[in-house]
Structure 1
Amino acid sequence: MRRHEFQPGRLIAGLVLVTAGVFYLLDSTGRADLPWFAIIPMTLGGLSLAALVGLVTYAVRRDRRDRITESSDR
């Protein structure tokens, strides 16, 4: 299997969605009483953080790739 590059934005998005799912599962079983307006902002905040991390990761990799191609062109 080929190795793939690490994408921290997707990792954060997955962890946030799994956490929200666990909270909903706990709420549906009656073990926790969580209002919907507590889960939705947490999920949206986590997905926003994941998007920000993904953009920063993309910018850093693009800059690094551009520097490598500039040094090889000389």
Structure 2
Amino acid sequence: MPRHEFQPGKLVAGLFLTATGVVYAGDAVGLWDIPWFAVIPLVLGGLCLAGATAVLARAIRGRGGAEEGQR
């Protein structure tokens, strides 16, 4: 099975979207009361942080990182 390249931007985005789901699941169960618009800063903040993480990872790896792994 071929190994996939680690992409930290997707990891950060997934963590924030999972956290958003946990917050709304807790609201649905009745553990706490979350306003409907709380999803906006969670998702947008997570996507912005994921984009910054992806750019930083790309800068650290350099331009040839993706091409070197595809032999």
Say which one has the larger Rg.
Answer: 1
How many residue pairs match? The answer is 65
Within-5 A mapping of 1:1-74: 1-63=1-63, 65=64
- Aligned-pair CA distance for 1:54: 0.7
Q: Which has the higher helix share?
A: 1
- Aligned-pair CA distance for 1:60: 2.5
String of CA shifts for 1:39-64, please: whole Å, max 9, x gaps: 3212211110001111121232234x
Q: Structure 1 regions of 5+ residues with no counterpart?
A: 67-74
String of CA shifts for 1:13-62, please: whole Å, max 9, x gaps: 00100010010111111111011233321221111000111112123223
> What do you get for the CA RMSD once the two structures are aligned?
1.7
Q: Percent identity?
A: 51
Q: Structure 2 regions of 5+ residues with no counterpart?
A: 66-71
Q: Tell me the TM-score normalized by structure 2.
A: 0.77
